[in-house]
Amino acid sequence: MPAAPAFTDGNDMTTSSSSTSGNHALTPISAHERVFGWHEHASLWFSLGVGLLVMQVGAYLVPATGLREAVFAIVLGSMLGAALLAWVAKLGCDSGLSSAGLMHRSYGSLFARLPVFLNIIQLLGWTTFELVIMRESTAAIAREAFGLDLGRSAAIVLPTLLWGGVLIALLSGSMVGLVRRFVARFGLPLVVLSLIWLTWQFAGQLRASGLAELWNRPGDGSMGMFSALDLVIAMPVSWLPLVADYARHGRSSRGALGGVWLGYAVANIWCYGLGVMIVSAVEPETGLVSALLLAQGGLIALGLIMIDELDNAYGDIYSGSVSAHSLKPKWSIKRWGIALAALSICLAMVLPMHSLEPFLLTLSSVFVPLYGVILGRLSLGGNIDAPQRRVDAASAALWLLGIAFYHGLAQWAPGFGSALPTLALTFVLALATRRTGSLRSASA
């Protein structure tokens, strides 16, 4: 294996002569760069799991399903999705490789460019969504809390440039420093307090509306239990192509596994559940942001959640820049991050936020089988140090088969769900057809 480069968190281009052509995304990081403990993993992934977008998706579950069925789908789907996320985190920590590095090891150095490119596209999409959410929330706060009507054009341009500028400023610094000095120490307690306050407020409204009646009320039948489970799992699955970019900085795989699982599962359950509570407590035509502002102290809580939304956009762009750097290593990770953030700002100016549910499920159809194959190839004793091919035809075929299987199930057997059967199929086939060997820490 090539020697690990000497750099802090991949934001600069300092490298040893023996690294893989200065490609930090494809080179395992060294032991002295592994600074994340259990607390940092849990704090980061709790923070990334919290967001207005997650609450909005949670609101889709009711009245499509009943409240009782929605709660069951949220808890089970979050635990399963977070477990999958934590499994990939452990693999990234064991190997010291980024997400792009795991794709190269599984699919070959040439074919891996396709999923890496798709990952960059989806991360641009996610960042655009985050900027649109922050923009619309800012405009709603200005209008409903302060009576300030910015006008149609100004309400689009000014908040987008504001949040986009802050995002670019964050990308100019150190990812490791941001996680350890701000997210873990200050950001996490503030976000938890805001969630506790909002939960208390809307729980009170539900009790006043008759919680027992709402609990037993059936859904309208437009979404079955397994479809609801797929929608919940779709959110943690969307983070699969990012988790190794952060977990590779972990000091121990045990800490990465436990921290990611607990942090993300709690956040996903809480925010999906809060979305369900909000849509169940307010009038049907009330928007999410308006409902939050109507709650006592909602302005402060919404402001804190919006600030936390910024780290979701940061997480997307940082990981996208790592993937882009793997394709064009002459550009540093920091330079790629600023370029991708600028592109996301432009897209947020012209793209409205709509059709979110199909977007999430489409991402699942690509990345569930992609990581089913990666886990089958590299985990449970897989040989991560085997000589790389340019194209691993078997892995590529299994991925494409998994995508077809996912959409086939959605078309012909929607009642069974698609995510878990597809993951199981691709994992078992990849495990059964891989070359023998043992997983060794690539950064040892």
81 neighbors 238 (Cβ within 8 angstroms): no
- Does the structure show a pLDDT above 50 at 146? yes
Rounded Cα distance, 413 and 416, in Å? 6
Q: Is 36 helix (H, G, I), strand (E, B) or coil?
A: strand
The per-residue pLDDT for range 312-368, each reduced to its tens digit, is 899 999 999 999 999 999 999 999 999 999 999 999 988 766 555 577 667 778 999
Find the DSSP H helices in 328-435.
Answer: 333-350, 356-378, 393-412, 419-433
14 Rama class: left (phi>0) / alpha (psi -120 to 50) / beta:
beta
pTM for the full predicted model = 0.86
Domains recognised in the chain with CATH numbers: 32-355 (1.10.4160.10)
- Does the structure show a pLDDT above 70 at 14? no
* pLDDT for residue 217: 83
Quick check: bond before 63 cis, omega within 30? Answer: yes
The per-residue pLDDT for range 48-62, each reduced to its tens digit, is 999 888 898 888 898
* pLDDT for residue 46: 94
* Residue percentage of the chain with pLDDT more than 90: 44
The per-residue pLDDT for range 200-236, each reduced to its tens digit, is 989 888 888 788 888 888 888 888 888 899 889 988 9
Rounded Cα distance, 273 and 261, in Å? 18
Rounded Cα distance, 432 and 430, in Å? 5
Rounded Cα distance, 11 and 322, in Å? 9
* pLDDT for residue 17: 30
Rounded Cα distance, 309 and 126, in Å? 11
Rounded Cα distance, 372 and 21, in Å? 29
* pLDDT for residue 4: 33
* pLDDT for residue 154: 86
* pLDDT for residue 355: 57
* pLDDT for residue 284: 74
Distances (CA, A) of 107 to 219, 280, 377, 389, 393: 43, 45, 9, 8, 8
- Does the structure show a pLDDT above 80 at 145? no
Give which of 178, 176, 173 is closest to 337, Cα–Cα. 173
- The DSSP symbol for 435 reads P
* Overall size of the chain counted in residues: 444
The per-residue pLDDT for range 236-276, each reduced to its tens digit, is 988 999 999 999 999 999 999 999 999 999 999 999 999 99
Give which of 276, 152, 113 is closest to 205, Cα–Cα. 276
CB atoms within 10 A of CB 132: 23
State both tokens at 148: 């300030």
Give which of 291, 270, 267 is closest to 279, Cα–Cα. 291
* pLDDT for residue 305: 84
The per-residue pLDDT for range 66-101, each reduced to its tens digit, is 999 999 999 999 999 999 999 999 999 999 999 999
- Between residues 105 and 17, which one has the greater pLDDT? 105
